[in-house]
Amino acid sequence: MEVLESKCNVCHARRNPSRVFTEENMDAYGSSIYEQVFVRKRMPRGSSIRLSEQESNALKNWLNTLK
């Protein structure tokens, strides 16, 4: 969750306000996050924000706990 806050929401709050991630909406967004980050690799967007390998693993593990 910290990864989402620091690496995703910073931008979504500005560019995509309907998708600011919270614990509450993870039921709805968990699978689309997985899809965008790990399958299609579209997010995070831009070159200034990248997930470190550690952050990427943390996010993946955490998403797995939701399912």
**Torsions phi, psi for 24 (to 5 deg):** -70, -35
- Under the binding rule (CB under 6 A), the answer on residue 43 touching ligand HEC is yes
- Under the binding rule (CB under 6 A), the answer on residue 63 touching ligand HEC is no
- Under the binding rule (CB under 6 A), the answer on residue 32 touching ligand HEC is yes
3 state SS of 57: helix
- Under the binding rule (CB under 6 A), the answer on residue 33 touching ligand HEC is yes
CB atoms under 10 Å from CB of 15, counted, come to 10
Interface residues toward ligand HEC, by CB under 6 A = 7-8, 11-12, 15-16, 19, 32-33, 36-37, 43-46, 49, 51
